[in-house]
Homo-oligomer: A and B are copies of this chain.
Amino acid sequence: MGISKTEIFTDQQNEIALFSKVFGHPARVAILQHLFRIDTCVCGDLVEEIGLAQPTISQHLKELKHLGLIKGSIEGTRVCYCIDTENWIKMKHIMLAFLNQDLKAKADCC
């Protein structure tokens, strides 16, 4: 049905899934990598950088902003985006706890 039964999972599981979902598209990965690489606000040139149409980029930026991973500030006719470091680190802790489960586990047995 295209709809996930989120109510039968824990908040932690749903949170991991939400963050992962936003990383589940290469355009959003590319946007984030570009913002980190430039290491400052990016004003406007994301469309040329990524190579998708302007409405498509705008939509991906909206999803990243909705999760709090980036923030934008209006500068005249342009909008400048950058990583929200504080929220990025919060997200990272949640994802690291998930990815590092293997540290507690022994080994595969099959």
Contact = CB atoms under 8 A, between A and B. Distances in A.
Identical copies of this chain, number: 2
Nearest to A101: B36
Given A13-B33, A20-B20, A85 B108 contact: yes
B71 A85 contact: no
Given A13-B29, A92-B100, A106 B39 contact: yes
Contact of A80 (B4, B21, B27, B110): B110
Interface of A is mostly: helix
Contacts of A100: 92
A53 to B, nearest CB: 10
Interface residues of A, number: 58
Contacts of A14: 26
A6 B29 contact: no
Interface in A4-22: 4-6, 8-10, 13-14, 16-18, 20-22
A58 to B, nearest CB: 16
